[in-house]
């Protein structure tokens, strides 16, 4: 063991207690090697097998180069011409308390325990420009004594478990489960032959509908299965809808599309797909956040683009690589180009319009995917995962996350009734990914869980970069599972109840997919 090796080679044996050896001392300190929770030293005592590890993966905020009252963030925005381009940004922040060294970014919402320390009771505060937490409001207390009854068994608050093939968690009496169609060892041959793998065993067809939560579902059957009533969806993908057609803004305002997928209850909080901006606004006073229009012309911000009556293609500077070639995102939406998908924080499944519901189960085949051409994956270091509903595997760390809708609704009420979206979750999770060579993408799956992908951003990632992204996914998974205050203090991440690192499971699916492709 590491203990024996260290004491044998590094310790002064003359100072060992009488009749004690390295082995007997280690038996006292650690009777058994916990290989699951301990990291062996051996591989760190030899030269790294990776080429140029320092250049391939960096940690800009370790050590922290920012002042004491600033938060260090990975610079994912790039730099304007003439600026010093650093790999990190120093953002004004607030301490979580007088005795705390933990900082959060300005203008963010933070969830903290109430001063009385009562279990399950929290307040939500804003990090204000003064560098202090302001505008604190108390949330309804979470009844941590409430349990869930599942199959005649009582499940405690905060526990996670399986019900058939579904992952579930219990949150203050609220039973939260994914919505997968399951087969069991007792399923008949007929059941297996009729099994589609889609929720409610819906027919395996792609006739998309747009639900009022902003999510495109592959069919009306699937939309109904996840709880959407017929008056809560309409035929056609959400990207094909113009939310400004009904002129929802006043005459002095301009309506602009702002798509989102909401996780809060649409019966309580409208999931508007637009925002109204003043026609007389001085765009030069707004922060510089480059955007690109559909004619590949760049503007300093969205305000400037819309004042010239142009259409937004994607957020960020115009790039030649983002030619107008449609791609299918993992969320089932067709985007005009890869940059439009990425700026929506959605990774690309394949080139061309969406045409199929991809792999959801290893028990069924998907002939629709046979017409899809998948990108070639790196041969070294890649552990392919196939996101649910996708056709093509990719190199990424993947998590499947459940959340409490009741908790999100409570948070939305305290935040002036603003719904919580998938974007809100992803952008907050990005703050916890410390390697700029990896970025966070995600979507709401048709199986009612959040799929989070941490993907290398380089077109030809190295083995080390792929490994770094997988480790970042493991870290986020661990923070969610343990309910870490570093993560849960951020609204809306406090509503996340459980996570599963699905890399191993999806490795099996990718092998299954290769079998299907190869006949």
**Boundaries of every domain in the chain:** 2-46, 70-139, 178-280+319-508
pLDDT for residue 346 = 96
Instruction: Give the tens place of pLDDT for each residue, 453-472.
Output: 999 998 889 999 999 999 99
State yes or no: pLDDT of 514 exceeds 90: no
Instruction: Give the tens place of pLDDT for each residue, 257-281.
Output: 899 999 999 999 999 999 998 888 8
- Tokens at residue 93, please? 């922040």
pLDDT for residue 193 = 86
Q: What is the pTM of this model?
A: 0.86
Instruction: Give the tens place of pLDDT for each residue, 469-489.
Output: 999 999 999 999 999 988 999
How far, CA to CA in Å, does 400 sit from each of 37, 173, 228? 22, 21, 22
Chain-centre distance for alpha carbon 236 = 26
List, in sequence order, the alpha helices (H) in 371-436: 405-414, 422-430
- Tokens at residue 215, please? 């999510």
pLDDT for residue 516 = 38
What is the band of 361 on the pLDDT scale with cuts at 50, 70, 90?
Answer: low
pLDDT for residue 507 = 45
How far, CA to CA in Å, does 370 sit from each of 32, 35, 390, 391, 399? 50, 42, 12, 9, 26
End-to-end Cα spacing for the chain: 47
CA–CA gap between residue 515 and residue 509 (Å, rounded): 10
- Are 78 and 342 in contact by the 8 Å Cβ rule? The answer is no
Instruction: Give the tens place of pLDDT for each residue, 236-259.
Output: 999 999 999 999 999 999 898 899
CA–CA gap between residue 188 and residue 469 (Å, rounded): 41
Lowest mean pLDDT among 28-42, 58-72, 202-216, 301-315: 28-42
């Amino acid at each position: 063991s590491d203990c024996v090796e260290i004491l044998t080679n590094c310790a002064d044996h003359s100072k060992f207690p009488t009749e004690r050896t390295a082995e007997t001392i280690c038996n006292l300190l650690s009777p058994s090697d916990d290989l699951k929770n301990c990291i062996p030293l051996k591989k760190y005592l030899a030269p790294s097998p990776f080429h140029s590890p320092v250049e391939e993966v960096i940690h800009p905020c370790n050590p922290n180069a920012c002042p004491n009252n600033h938060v260090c963030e990975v610079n994912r925005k790039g730099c304007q011409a003439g600026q010093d381009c650093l790999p990190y940004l120093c953002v004004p922040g607030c301490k979580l308390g007088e005795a705390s060294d933990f900082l959060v970014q300005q203008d963010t919402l933070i969830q903290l325990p109430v001063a009385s320390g009562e279990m399950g009771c929290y307040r939500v505060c804003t990090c204000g420009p003064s560098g202090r937490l302001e505008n604190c409001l108390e949330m309804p207390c979470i009844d941590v004594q409430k349990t869930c009854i599942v199959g005649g068994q009582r499940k405690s608050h905060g526990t996670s478990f399986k019900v058939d093939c579904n992952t579930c968690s219990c949150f203050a009496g609220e039973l939260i489960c994914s919505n997968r169609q399951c087969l069991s060892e007792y399923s008949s041959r007929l059941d297996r032959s009729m099994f589609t793998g889609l929720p409610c065993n819906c027919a395996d067809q792609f006739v998309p509908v747009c639900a009022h939560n902003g999510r495109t579902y592959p069919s009306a059957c699937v939309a109904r299965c996840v709880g959407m009533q017929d008056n809560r969806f309409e035929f056609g993908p959400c990207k094909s809808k113009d939310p400004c057609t009904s002129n929802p803004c006043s005459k002095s305002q301009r309506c602009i599309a702002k798509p989102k997928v909401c996780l809060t209850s649409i019966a309580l909080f409208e999931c508007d797909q637009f925002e109204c901006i003043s026609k007389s606004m001085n765009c030069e006073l707004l922060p510089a956040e480059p955007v690109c229009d559909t004619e590949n012309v760049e503007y300093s911000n969205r305000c400037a683009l819309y004042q010239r009556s142009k259409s937004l293609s994607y957020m960020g500077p115009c790039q030649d690589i983002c030619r107008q070639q449609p791609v299918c995102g993992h969320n089932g939406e067709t985007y005009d180009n890869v940059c439009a998908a990425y700026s929506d924080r959605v990774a690309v499944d394949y080139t061309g319009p969406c045409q199929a519901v991809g792999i959801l189960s290893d028990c069924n085949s998907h002939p629709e995917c046979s017409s899809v051409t998948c990108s070639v994956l790196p041969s070294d270091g890649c552990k392919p995962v196939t996101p649910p509903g996708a056709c093509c595997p990719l190199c990424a760390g993947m998590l499947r996350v459940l959340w409490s809708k009741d908790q999100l609704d409570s948070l939305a009420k305290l935040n002036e009734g603003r719904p919580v979206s998938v974007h809100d979750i992803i952008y907050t999770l990005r703050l916890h990914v410390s390697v700029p060579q990896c970025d966070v993408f995600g979507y709401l799956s048709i199986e009612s869980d959040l799929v989070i992908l941490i993907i290398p951003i380089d077109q030809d990632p190295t083995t080390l970069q792929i490994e770094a992204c997988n480790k970042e996914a493991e870290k986020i998974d661990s923070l969610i599972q343990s309910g870490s205050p570093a993560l849960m203090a951020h609204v809306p991440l406090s509503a996340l109840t459980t996570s599963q690192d699905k890399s191993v499971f999806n490795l099996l699916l990718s092998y299954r997919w290769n079998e299907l492709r190869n006949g």
